Structure 1
Amino acid sequence: MKTKRVFIGIFGRRNQGKSSLINAIAGQEVAIVSDIPGTTTDPVKKSIEVFGIGPVVFIDTAGIDDTGEMGEKRIRKTKEVVKTIDVAVLVISENTFGEPEEKWIKDLVFYAIPFVIVHNKSDKEVLSDELKKRLLGFKVPVLECSSFQKSGMDELVNALVKITPSSAYVSNSFVGDIVEPGALVVLVMPQDSEGPEGRLILPQVQLIRDILDNHAIAIGLQPQELEAYIKKQTPDLVITDSQAFDFVSKIVPAGLPLSSFSIILARAKGNFEDYLKGTPYISKLQDGDKILMLESCTHVTSCEDIGRHKIPQMLRKFTGKELHFEWVSALSPLPDLHQFAMGIQCGACMVTQKQVFVRMKHLLDKKIPISNYGMTIAYVTGIFNRVTEIFNHK
């Protein structure tokens, strides 16, 4: 079942017809078009339904050949889009292909983004055999289109369907491979000042829905009610907020599977095996080491914030070292990574699997160990092996 939106980035020089191409695919004017080069400045998202893929978010971007100080800033913003997409369309026209396009292709290849090359405005000038042969050397689909005449759109959509990885639109089940139908899953959900008033936070909602989708039974309670409940009914699995690990692990009997929301999410959306390998590096941290804290969302913090306050305090206490921290929120650009000894990613409930993969790739390429919030808390609490044991045979 297709349950996620596919993010498709449209790239190319100014005045190549990128916005017009989106309109032609959609069959309606969803993007502003003009003959004036540089009409599109900041990246603009357009949500439409594409037959064969499902819900799609097209990201219309500024020209990759933009000029001037503001132009350079717009290009930097466009480059950030590459890190957030599942598929790309590189638009050229009038047989113009050179250094800007070649640089862009290198970025797409680096981030493992499947893409197609579209020669637009074919009603004015068709793609030359010489350039077509050169483009086919990149081993990607090369298409002839005219957004003005709306020709080649079916071929473009078919190409996008073929190159879009299933991981872009099919959500992995969080617990489908670790619970049986009818299993009883207890969710321990502390309600503190960091939680939204009157509703549950997104990871809790996601887990409840996934448990129900797998025909299991979800029981939600706060830590204070856990001991009394377990005495009455033995669950098949306990999933807790990572911040309650120390309290909950003392109540849940040995042998009863225990994990956390953050760790469960990491299996579906993160670099799980890399987190498992990287987490023990915590014991090797030294005085003066700097840790990069990666948050998926932006929010107003408080003294109860897990990433800004609680985890740094836990790590300093566990290691006995003077550690330093820097935070990056949402999909903001990463700082110079050479200064960091380790990276710790949140549960990533607000971003896509691809976005987490791309972000972690930067750290892994620099040989920087990575962990996530849940595994970090489990490690310093002394229950790392216990809360990851359930996944060892998966």
Structure 2
Amino acid sequence: MKGKDLKPHIGIFGRRNFGKSSLINALTGLDVAIVSDIAGTTTDPVKKSMEIFGIGPAILIDTAGIDDQGDLGEKRIAKTLDVIKQIDCAILVIANNTFDEYEESLIQKFDRHKVSYLIVNNKTDMEPLQNNTIRKIQQKTTASIVEFSSVTRANLDGLIEALKGTIPETSYQNPSLLKGLINRGDIVMLITPVDSEAPDGRMILPQVMAIRDVLDNDAINVVVKETEAELFLQKTDIKPRLVMTDSQAFGFVSKIIPDEIPLTGFSIAYARMRGPFNEYVQGTRKISQLKDGDKILILESCTHQVSCEDIGRFKIPRWLKAYTKKQLEFDIVAGLNEIKTPITDYALVIQCGGCMVTRKQIFSRLFDAIEAGVPVSNYGLTIAYMNGIFERAIAPFANTL
């Protein structure tokens, strides 16, 4: 997963030969998608980065036709539908006054996954929407309907304005890790361990975001390794307004930071900003109820080289077994790969920090578990719970629960 994938994702859906690829070319002003009169030219979903005025950088995803046919066509449709779980917004392309079960099925899936969408009548230069088609659409949805032509690019400004009004602001607004927690002049201590999993010469995204967030709030950063934190407190006699640390250092750091100083973790603050935080908190408390034979699903949203110190594949399973003293089973699913085992087979789902995926992708990833009542947690909250400082680590966010 590349950094550019953190941009808002906009999926383009519709039947074959209705002009989905042409619409992307019109939006970007470039011939970035293959256009052909032959239906089914687009096979696998294709991503293209672009800038949308008023929204900023975004990822457009061109998908195969929802009416594809044959065994291969069914596989293409499956990949198209899987895109719905990954996007922040959708454009449903129609043409020729055609709107029936294919379009209605897509709308149902958009609604189920809480994806905002608009409907674009492409090829309006050839056949504008008829009143009976408009009435049929309005019986199924209240989504905006935009007349557009990929050939003449008529009403391109209207399409972009409709898109800006459809895509959720939360998908492109600048997020804040520490909103409501600190004020101007507050001193924030950021304890950042450097271990074998830390990026060489760099810091992980939540740490970098925390540093910037402190600056944006006109507060003061104090950044130290865990081995120097106690020395700093002793030498300066400074009492930070807030201390944040890496979740793997919770056990050590909680012993050297006085109880009266609020303490939390980078991944916990990140989970509050990017994930279903209330569900995480409730689900984490279920750890104490795990039983012999329970299956745990670990979701790693990025793919990376695995080492013996890998937190999701080795450390958390080992720590959970030791903490619960139960014989637990673990499944690992990396990236955005399909979860093939029924979600109800799991007693707990633990999501990674999700720093390399979008907010929508995290919510979609956990949607089935939450809907089925399966407890969910994330790495930082799970580790805080096992270190006995769970309540302390979530206390700074008590007013959001």
Which TM-score band (shorter chain)? over 0.9
- Unaligned segments of structure 2, at least 5 residues: 1-5
Give the Cα–Cα distance (whole angstroms) in 2 for the partners of residues 176 and 254 of structure 1.
Answer: 22
Partner of 2:265: 260
Partner of 2:3: none
Q: Give 2:232's aligned amino acid.
A: Y
Equivalence map 1:1-394=2 (5 Å): 5-137=7-139, 138-232=141-235, 233-335=238-340, 336-394=342-400
Preserved contact between residue 119 and residue 146 of structure 2 (Cα < 8 Å): yes
TM-score by length of 1: 0.96
Q: Give 1:307's aligned amino acid.
A: G
CA deviation after TM superposition for structure 1 residue 361, in Å: 1.7
Give the Cα–Cα distance (whole angstroms) in 2 for the partners of residues 351 and 112 of structure 1.
Answer: 17
CA deviation after TM superposition for structure 1 residue 85, in Å: 1.1
Let me know the Cα RMSD of the aligned residues: 1.4
Q: Over residues 84-121 of structure 1, what are the superposed CA-to-partner deviations in whole Å (9 max), with x where a residue is unaligned?
A: 11111001111222222111111100111111111211
Quote the sequence identity (%): 51
CA deviation after TM superposition for structure 1 residue 52, in Å: 2.8
CA deviation after TM superposition for structure 1 residue 393, in Å: 2.5
CA deviation after TM superposition for structure 1 residue 337, in Å: 0.7
What SS is found at the alignment partner of 1:83?
A: helix
Give the Cα–Cα distance (whole angstroms) in 1 for the partners of residues 132 and 179 of structure 2.
Answer: 51
Give the Cα–Cα distance (whole angstroms) in 2 for the partners of residues 199 and 163 of structure 1.
Answer: 36
Q: Give 1:228's aligned amino acid.
A: L
Give the Cα–Cα distance (whole angstroms) in 2 for the partners of residues 26 and 198 of structure 1.
Answer: 36
Give the Cα–Cα distance (whole angstroms) in 2 for the partners of residues 319 and 6 of structure 1.
Answer: 39
- Unaligned segments of structure 1, at least 5 residues: none
What SS is found at the alignment partner of 2:61?
A: strand
Q: Over residues 236-271 of structure 1, what are the superposed CA-to-partner deviations in whole Å (9 max), with x where a residue is unaligned?
A: 211111011111111111111100011010111011
Give the Cα–Cα distance (whole angstroms) in 1 for the partners of residues 266 and 310 of structure 2.
Answer: 16
88-97 vs 46-55, which moves further:
46-55
Preserved contact between residue 8 and residue 358 of structure 2 (Cα < 8 Å): no
Preserved contact between residue 136 and residue 142 of structure 1 (Cα < 8 Å): no
CA deviation after TM superposition for structure 1 residue 30, in Å: 2.4
CA deviation after TM superposition for structure 1 residue 5, in Å: 3.2
What SS is found at the alignment partner of 2:296?
A: strand
115-124 vs 363-372, which moves further:
115-124
Q: Over residues 349-380 of structure 1, what are the superposed CA-to-partner deviations in whole Å (9 max), with x where a residue is unaligned?
A: 11111111122221111100111111111111
Q: Over residues 63-96 of structure 1, what are the superposed CA-to-partner deviations in whole Å (9 max), with x where a residue is unaligned?
A: 1112222222222221121111111100111122
TM-score by length of 2: 0.94
Give the Cα–Cα distance (whole angstroms) in 2 for the partners of residues 143 and 134 of structure 1.
Answer: 15
What SS is found at the alignment partner of 2:10?
A: strand
